[in-house]
Chain A
């Protein structure tokens, strides 16, 4: 079945460091891919999305490119800030999943000053 595999954390970076969180997926058909962010004690917020191969989603300095050939959707940011500390979830959804969302296990990011 469809699934998402996400890089395990926790990840700790210094402010202004480069961030990569790996995400790969297994799916039948062509799902849409998402990154969601969860701050402590809160629900999830959509960070970015991509709906087809080679699409690049971007928001707040974060980017991820839908790579069909490697079935990946890695999250990157060139210079992280303390305020980026949160848990990041990779997810997929599509017609073949009954429009349900499948989430990765989440990666906790802590950025230290």
Chain B
């Protein structure tokens, strides 16, 4: 149980285009989902926290108009990188937490490369 599926696992896009990453909790309802960015050989940087049915809370320094987060249902959150540029290339990871559980479960990550 407690499986989080992230899709796609890798994507290459042209500069200026938008990319959508999906995060699904497969066997539980996730009232809270987190989006992280990870640079090579570094820790996870929290980008935003989203709660189902409400606007996401972005961390300081994260552009909310560039990284659009939607948590429309209890099993799905999406991150859209708008007008992507090469500096947005990174490894993006989502995690989800079920009501009443303290641990978070992570997706397998998405490697985004903007060319």
Residues of A bordering B, CB below 8 Å: 32, 34, 36, 41-46, 49, 51, 89, 93-94, 98-101, 103-106, 108
User: Are A101 and B43 in contact (CB-based, < 8 A)?
Assistant: no
**Residue B82 CB within 8 A of the other chain:** no
**Other CB < 8 Å A-B pairs besides A101-B46, A104-B43, 12 of them?**
A41-B111, A42-B108, A43-B6, A43-B108, A44-B93, A46-B105, A46-B106, A49-B102, A51-B102, A94-B102, A100-B34, A101-B34
How far is B95's CA from A43's CA once the two chains are assembled, in angstroms? Answer: 9
**Residue B25 CB within 8 A of the other chain:** no
**Chain A residue at minimal CB-CB distance from B31:** A99
How far is B4's CA from A73's CA once the two chains are assembled, in angstroms? Answer: 26
How far is B102's CA from A103's CA once the two chains are assembled, in angstroms? Answer: 15
The 9 closest A-B pairs by CB, nearest first: A43-B106, A44-B106, A43-B108, A43-B109, A105-B43, A32-B102, A103-B43, A43-B107, A43-B93
**Chain A residue at minimal CB-CB distance from B111:** A41
Residues in B with CB closer than 8 Å to A101 are: 34, 46, 95, 104
Residues in A with CB closer than 8 Å to B109 are: 41-43
What are 20 contact pairs spanning A and B, CB under 8 A? A34-B103, A43-B108, A43-B109, A44-B44, A44-B93, A44-B95, A45-B106, A46-B103, A46-B106, A49-B102, A89-B43, A94-B102, A99-B32, A100-B34, A100-B49, A101-B46, A103-B43, A104-B43, A105-B42, A106-B42
Residues in A with CB closer than 8 Å to B95 are: 43-44, 101
What is the CB-to-nearest-CB distance from A62 to chain B, in angstroms, rounded to a whole number?
A: 15
What is the CB-to-nearest-CB distance from A90 to chain B, in angstroms, rounded to a whole number?
A: 10
